[in-house]
Amino acid sequence: MARKVRKAVFPVAGLGTRFLPATKSIPKEILTLVDRPLIQYAIDEAREAGITEFIFVTSRGKSALEDYFDRAPEIEKALTDKNKLDLLERLKPTNMDSGAIAYVRQHEALGLGHAVWCARRLIGNEPFAVLLPDDVIQSNVGCLKQMVDAYEESGGGNMVAAMEVSPDKTSAYGILDVKDGGDSGNVVNVKGMVEKPATEDAPSNLAVIGRYILTPQVLRNLNKIKRGAGGEIQLTDAIAEEITENDNVTGFRFAGQRYDCGSKAGFLQATVAFGLQHPDLRDEFEGYLNELVALRHAAQ
């Protein structure tokens, strides 16, 4: 039986330069989709999947993230005094049990593999999840929960979320090399994995999306992984080694819509999609969008 996944790593050390100047003084993970910062979406998804220990890999300038998950005594007191219980309720998901959240710093930007490796002592010798908060996934059942269910059913191993991307976009992703006959159903059997290949070198257009369930052996592989694509220590390379050594890596086609909130276009799309789903906003927002589209058509 697969060991339970209790810990999740959130690599949040990136500089967020694509969102400058907004990210000059706030971490990009605090940028807000409708009414929740990006990081809250990832935390909520992890909780839904049964994660109870949250490990953040941070860097300089990320202290707003620590404050976000701390108590806010002044705000809480003011809301209590005014009996604004609904607002107090909204703060609840930001509260963590004491000791459930840990921060470790990545001192140098050496890549995603290095970021995960920085958390090795906190992870220890058990399976763990990795969630990249830039990848926001809108779905009925959270993407990580879907993966944990499939992982438990399959009895363990390493699993990466996977999604088809346009063939001209392979150089932005880890790309899976699918085994012959290995692509039926949600779970895809893979024989290789390569980080950011050019279209002509890509073994497929099935891309890795930022949700992983990994064995501790991947951490040990990271001990010896050399710099790969882009001169960085790549998580993809440490996972690919598990394919060669143990043949225990699968891709998981999740149900849901993924938004690349690391890009401005993706962030805007996610804002619209989540706005249209928000119970307090959707009617007004949908009305506005329809009006806007009608006006644009009329002007053409």
Footprint on this chain of ligand G1P (rule: CB under 6 A): 112, 132, 135, 173-174, 195, 207-210, 235-236, 262
Tokens read off for 74? 């002044």
ω before 21 within 30° of 0 (cis)? yes
Q: Which is nearer to ligand G1P, 53 or 195 (CB)?
A: 195
Q: Which is nearer to ligand G1P, 169 or 278 (CB)?
A: 169
Cross-strand pairs, 177 = 192
Please report how close the Cβ of residue 268 comes to ligand G1P at its closest, in angstroms.
Answer: 17
Please report how close the Cβ of residue 177 comes to ligand G1P at its closest, in angstroms.
Answer: 13
Please report how close the Cβ of residue 111 comes to ligand G1P at its closest, in angstroms.
Answer: 8
Q: Which CA distances in Å does 144 have to 51, 80, 118?
A: 10, 35, 22
Q: Which parts of 82-226 fold into alpha helices (H)?
A: 85-91, 112-117, 120-123, 143-154, 216-224
Please report how close the Cβ of residue 113 comes to ligand G1P at its closest, in angstroms.
Answer: 8
Note whether 105 and 4 are within 8 A (CB): no
Helical (H) or strand (E) element with 195? strand 187-195
User: Among 252, 196, 245, which Cα is nearest to 220's?
Assistant: 245
Q: Which is nearer to ligand G1P, 187 or 209 (CB)?
A: 209
Question: Checking DSSP bridges between strand 249-253 and strand 158-164, what pairing results, if any?
Answer: parallel
Collapsing DSSP to helix, strand or coil, 294 comes out as: helix
Note whether 131 and 46 are within 8 A (CB): yes
d(CA 115, CA 195): 16
Q: Which is nearer to ligand G1P, 127 or 262 (CB)?
A: 262
Query: Which residue has the CB atom at the shortest distance from ligand G1P?
Result: 174
Please report how close the Cβ of residue 164 comes to ligand G1P at its closest, in angstroms.
Answer: 12
Q: Which is nearer to ligand G1P, 79 or 163 (CB)?
A: 163
Q: Which is nearer to ligand G1P, 53 or 232 (CB)?
A: 232
Please report how close the Cβ of residue 175 comes to ligand G1P at its closest, in angstroms.
Answer: 8
